[in-house]
Amino acid sequence: MASTNLMSLGNVEKKDFLKSFDYFICDCDGVLWHGRVPVPGAQEVLKNLVSIGKKRFYFTNNSALTRKQFVEKFNSLGFDAKEEEILSTAWLTAKYLKNINFNKKVYVVGGTSIKEELDKFEIENFGAGPDNYEARGSSNFTLESSDIELVPDVGAVVVGYDLFFSYPKVAKAKCYLNDPKCLFLATNKDEKIPIAGGLTVPGSGALVAAVEVCSDRKADVIGKPSPFAIDHVLIPSGIDPKRCLMIGDKCSTDIYFGNQRGMITLLVETGLHRYTDLEKFKSSGMDHLIPSYYTSSVADISKIMRLP
Ligand SMILES: [Mg+2]
């Protein structure tokens, strides 16, 4: 499986590329922006694609915001967005539980974004935000069984990005997961998150790993690269994955996600991975990480649209 340099195509092939998809799904960090700085030309290309009839989705593994909050972020950075165009992992997790007619309680190791999305689907949940262990006045530093008040009827543990991640939370998650019928869901498993100044900080994957190790279980992932969003959101809406273009900067999440269901995939080199990484993946036999096309920036699509 080889990847094609998008801009090396002839003009006829470039136009065929534009005709080959009806929908495009854009990852956000590293594709549309870095932190709060938009990638030059990104807003324009998205607008132009919509103006020629392409339908748009945004898919971010970030679980720290609700869909409503993402719309506000998009608008503040100059991107058009509607809630129904946003595939975010707090919302997808709630949608998944709704789809399986989940009717128990969810223990959330994550932020209030997960709580708010679960609330919208009327799924009973608790645990988001700081654990109240300290507030109860515990003065020693060992956790007693009496410190762990297990709530009855918990049918799922959801782990996502959690600024208040703590030992008591991992302990409780582990206790709920002792029941093999209790679902174990991760919004995503990204190991690291890039932040300003060239630093990276732990992503949800680091927190999920802590719960996996002590519970001796593996979480089911809702975000990329899980095909959940394709199988449970796009296909049921009548969307053919083969007519979708997935645009991303990370091969192990974005590109793998699209490749699993036959989407056309495009790696943009404004984020994590570059063409040189593709050669490494190929020589290690990791064909599932190879995109259909690669190019330097999402803005290159504008150049194709301007062709006479
Ligand atoms: Mg990204």
* pLDDT score at 132: 74
Joined tokens for residue 158: 């959801």
**Enclosing H/E stretch for 61:** none
3-state SS of 195-212 is CHHHCEEECHHHHHHHHH
Distances from the Cα of 113 to the Cα of 39, 122, 292, angstroms? 26, 14, 34
Q: How many angstroms does the Cα of residue 129 sit away from the middle of ligand 1?
A: 26
| Local confidence band at 55 (pLDDT 50, 70, 90 cut-offs) | very high
* pLDDT score at 61: 96
| All residues at 6 or more sequence positions from 100 whose CB lies less than 8 Å from its CB, including other chains | none
User: Would you list which residues are annotated within the binding site?
Assistant: 27, 29, 224, 249
* pLDDT score at 137: 60
Radius of gyration of the chain (CA): 21
Task: Render pLDDT for 279-289 as a digit per residue (tens, 0 to 9).
Answer: 999 999 999 99
Of 181, 201, 184, 256, the closest CA to residue 226 belongs to 256
* Integer Cα distance of 283 and 42 in angstroms: 32
Are 190 and 206 in contact, with CB atoms under 8 Å apart? no
Whether pLDDT at 18 is above 80: yes
Q: Which residues are annotated as catalytic?
A: 27, 29
3-state class (DSSP) for residue 264: strand
Phi, psi for 126 (deg, rounded to 5): -155, 165
Joined tokens for residue 87: 């595939």
Whether omega for the bond prior to residue 225 falls within 30 degrees of 0, making it cis, is: yes
Residues with CB under 5 A from ligand 1 (ion): 27, 29-30, 249, 271
Q: Stretch 298-305: mean pLDDT, rounded?
A: 96
| Local confidence band at 195 (pLDDT 50, 70, 90 cut-offs) | confident
Task: Render pLDDT for 218-231 as a digit per residue (tens, 0 to 9).
Answer: 999 999 999 999 99
Q: How many angstroms does the Cα of residue 285 sit away from the middle of ligand 1?
A: 23
Whether pLDDT at 6 is above 90: yes
Task: Render pLDDT for 197-214 as a digit per residue (tens, 0 to 9).
Answer: 778 899 999 999 999 999
Q: Stretch 243-260: mean pLDDT, rounded?
A: 97
Q: How many angstroms does the Cα of residue 260 sit away from the middle of ligand 1?
A: 18
Average pLDDT, whole number, for the chain?
94
Whether pLDDT at 172 is above 90: yes
Whether pLDDT at 111 is above 70: yes
Residue 70 CA, distance from chain mean position: 13
* pLDDT score at 140: 61
Q: Stretch 160-176: mean pLDDT, rounded?
A: 95
% of the chain beyond a pLDDT of 70: 96
Task: Render pLDDT for 116-154 as a digit per residue (tens, 0 to 9).
Answer: 999 999 999 999 999 876 666 655 667 777 778 899 999
* pLDDT score at 136: 61
Q: How many angstroms does the Cα of residue 60 sit away from the middle of ligand 1?
A: 7
CA angle, residues 112, 185, 246, in degrees to nearest 5:
90
| All residues at 6 or more sequence positions from 111 whose CB lies less than 8 Å from its CB, including other chains | 63, 64, 90, 128, 129, 160, 161, 162, 163
User: Would you list which residues are annotated within the binding site for Mg(2+)?
Assistant: 27, 29, 249
Q: How many angstroms does the Cα of residue 132 sit away from the middle of ligand 1?
A: 34
Phi, psi for 3 (deg, rounded to 5): -105, 140
* Integer Cα distance of 68 and 117 in angstroms: 10
Joined tokens for residue 276: 């040189």
Q: How many angstroms does the Cα of residue 87 sit away from the middle of ligand 1?
A: 14
| Local confidence band at 216 (pLDDT 50, 70, 90 cut-offs) | very high
3-state class (DSSP) for residue 297: coil
